[in-house]
Structure 1
Amino acid sequence: MSTEHETFEVTDPPPDPPEETDPVGGHDLVTSWLRTTVPAIWGASVTAGLAAVEPHLPAWAATPLGAALGDESTTLLVTVAAVAGWHAAWRHLEARAPRWVVRLALGSPRQPSYDDTATSSARHASRSRSRPDPDASAPRTATIKS
C-alpha cells in the first residue's frame, strides 16, 4: 500500500469588497456626522429666527419669548428643543419627502448603518495593521493524503 502526500500553499481569501459609500463622498461616519450636524444648524437657525422676530410680535407672544431668549441657559434649552423637534419631525417626514429635501433638512437622505460585523472587521483590520503577524511572511502549507 502506497501513500502519497501532496503539499500545496494555502492562500488567504480575497478581501471583502469596499463598503457602499455615501453619495456625499464618505462612509457611514460622514453620514452620521451630517445627520447630527445639519439638524443642529437648523435648530440654531430656528432659535436665531425666533430672536429676530421677537421684537415684531404682539406683547402676549413677545414677553415669554423674550424672557426665554434673554437668558443664555434658557436660550440653550430653546435651541436643544428646536433641534430635537426638527430632527423628530424630519425623521417622521423622511419617507414621504423627496431625497433632495431630506438632504437639505437632515444632511443626507441615507441613514447610516451600524453593522456590528463591519465595525468589528474594521477594528480587526486596524489591530492587524498595528501588530504585524509573525507568521504572515511564512507561507502556510497543508498536506493531503491520498
Structure 2
Amino acid sequence: MKHTIAEVKISYHPNRLKGAVKITSSEYAGKVIRENWNQGTLNLYEEFKILLMNNSNEVLGLAPLSRGGMTGTLVDMRILFATVIKSGATSIITVHNHPSGKLKPSQADINIYNKIKDAAKLLDINYLDNLIITEDGKFSFMDEGY
C-alpha cells in the first residue's frame, strides 16, 4: 500500500521595482505605513502588520497578519516568521494600530514586542522597530528606548 503525503514547495518571486522605497527612520516608516493603511478601518478595529525589507531596508511589502476587535488582536508567531522567511526579508518592522487613539503601549504590546525580538535574534532577522499608529501619530519602540 502506497502512502500519499503532501509535497512542500517553497518559492519566492520578488517584484523588483525601480525606485524602491527605502526606510531610513521611524518617521519615514510611519509615513509609508500610514499611506498604505486603510484609513476607513484605522479607528474601527485593531490590525497587526509587518513591513518586510531587504538588507538595504528597501521595502518588499506590507503584510497583514491579524485583524481583531476594537481593543486587541492576536499575533501568531509561526505565521509572522513564516511570512518573513518566505518573503526573503532580512529586516522587519512590526506595526499595529490603536483605534482608541492612545499611543501608549499596553503590557501586551510590550510582551509581544519582546517575544518577536527574541525570535528574530534567533533567526538572524534584523528587527528594526515596533510601531503603534493612530490617526494623529505614531509610537516607536526603538525611539522610546525599548
| Normalised TM-score (structure 1) | 0.22
Which protein has the bigger strand share? Answer: 2
Q: Which has the larger radius of gyration?
A: 1
Greater relative CO (CA pairs within 8 A, separation 6+): 1
Which protein has the bigger helix share? Answer: 1
| Normalised TM-score (structure 2) | 0.22
